[in-house]
Amino acid sequence: MERPDWAPQGIDLSRPSVSRIYDFYLGGSHNFEVDREAARQAIEAFPGLPKVMQANRAFMRRAVRYAVGDGVTQFLDIGSGIPTFGNVHEVALEADPSSRIVYVDHDPVAVAHSRAVLEGQDRAVVMAGDFRSPQEILESAEVTGHLDLDRPVALLLVALLHFIQDDEDPWKTIAAFRDALPAGSLLVLSHASWEGGPRTSEHGRQIQDVYRTASSQLVMRRRPDVERFFTGFDVVEPGIVSMPDWRPDGPTDQEDPVVYSGFAGVGRKA
């Protein structure tokens, strides 16, 4: 018998969580031993992974500032995970105190943690939701109550889409979000790949193996598949590039080569 939709899923703390692994990469302690064990294996398989994550955070920060500079002060951050530091709302509110942020994650622990972190913060809210159900997110009380969907929104899919499998058709899901958002909205996206950096597809395969036991499976994609995510968006300068190369704040010559693995980009809905 299929479990009915309205019956809740349990939490399995014995399985590594991609949110808590990410926290570990960033030096946080919002994690349990299973998460740390998986993270250690991943780092072994793909040395320098924490640096890549740092670069990803840095990209996100720059992209948020870019959005505010572009006049977009509403943020829909899907797959927000466990906020450690330098979160979207911190960066955005620093750039424009009238910004509004909705965090979305499907990990109940991440949602509960975000709720605690955001206590007393009325510019940002968190909701439990799944990227794969765009309708549910867009029609949720959190989104409709906190954001004005008649004005441009920055949709943040940072380090998220490599957890969505091809057969779940993330391209179609992005199109659903795109169609629901007004012109001028931004798509902020970063995606794991061994392309661009010194690691090989073999490293990529190994890290995918590590994630096989985790709460979400990892799928590294190649450039053309990442480019297709921007269908219906005008990709802003400098295009879809390695994370450190996306509008850097300063010289990048001292960056560890590994942080060039993967892709980042921002697109604007015409």
Partner 1 sequence: MNTPVQGFAGPGTAGPAESGRQADGIRRFATIWSRAVYPTTATSMTRAEFERHLIPLTERLCTALHARPFDPADAREVGSALVAAHCTSPEALPQVLGVVDAYLLLYCSDPQRLPTEEGRARCARLQHAIAAGFARALQERTRVEQESISRAALAAQAEIEKALYESQTRFRTVFEEATLGIGIAAMDGTVLDVNAALTRMFGGNAAVVLDRRVTSWVHPDDAPGVWRKYDELVRGEREHFHTEKAYHRPDGTVLWTNLTVSLLRDPDGTPRYMLALMEDITERRLLHLRLRYEATHDALTDLPNRTLFFERLEQTLSRTEAGARFGLCYLDLDGFKTVNDSLGHSVGDQLLVAVAERLQGCLAGPGQLVARIGGDEFVALVSDPRDRTEVTDLAGRALEALSTPVRVDGKELSVRTSIGIVEGPVAGLTAAEVLRSADITMYRAKAQGGNRYELADPDLDARAISRHSLTNRLPAALEGAEFFIEYQPLVRMADGCVEGAEALVRWDHPRHGVLGPDRFIPLAEHTGLIVPLGRWVLEQAVRQACEWQVRGIGGPRQLRVNVNLSPRQLHHPHLVADTVAVLQNAGLPPESLCLEVTESALIRADDDELKPLRQLAELGVGIALDDFGTGYSNLASLRRLPASTLKLDRSFTQGLQQHPADPVDLRVVEGIVSLAHALELSVTVEGVETASQADQLRTLGCDSAQGWYYARPGPPERFSEQMAVAAGQ
Taking the C-alpha atoms of residue 244 and residue 233, their distance in angstroms, rounded to an integer, is 22
Binders of partner 1: how many residues, by CB under 8 A?
42
Contact characters 65-104, partner 1, x per CB under 8 A: -----------------x--xx------------------
**Among 8, 97, 120, 145, contact with partner 1 (rule: CB under 8 A):** 8
Q: Write down the least CB distance from residue 23 to partner 1, Å.
A: 8
Nearest distance in Å: CB 150, partner 1: 32
Exposed/middle/buried for 96, CB within 10 Å: 0-12, 13-18, 19+?
Answer: middle
Per rule CB under 8 A, is residue 116 in the interface with partner 1? yes
CB of 231 to partner 1, least distance (A): 29
Q: φ, ψ for residue 87 (rounded to 5)?
A: -70, 165
Q: How far apart are CA 57 and CA 250, in angstroms?
A: 16
- Edge-first strand listing for the sheet containing 154-158: 124-128, 100-105, 74-78, 154-158, 186-191, 263-269, 233-235
Compute the distance between CA of residue 263 and CA of residue 168 in angstroms, rounded to an integer.
20
Min dist CB 82 to partner 1, Å, is 7
Q: Does 111 bind partner 1 (CB under 8 A)?
A: yes
In the complex, minimum distance from the CB of residue 109 to partner 1, in angstroms, rounded to a whole number: 5
Helix (H) or strand (E) holding 264: strand 263-269
Positions 175 through 234 that interact with partner 1 (CB under 8 A): none
Residue 171 and residue 231 in contact, taking contact as beta carbons nearer than 8 Å: yes
Applying CB under 8 A, the residues found at the interface with partner 1 are 1, 6-11, 13, 20, 23, 25-32, 50, 53-54, 57-58, 60-61, 82, 85-86, 108-113, 115-117, 248-250, 254, 256
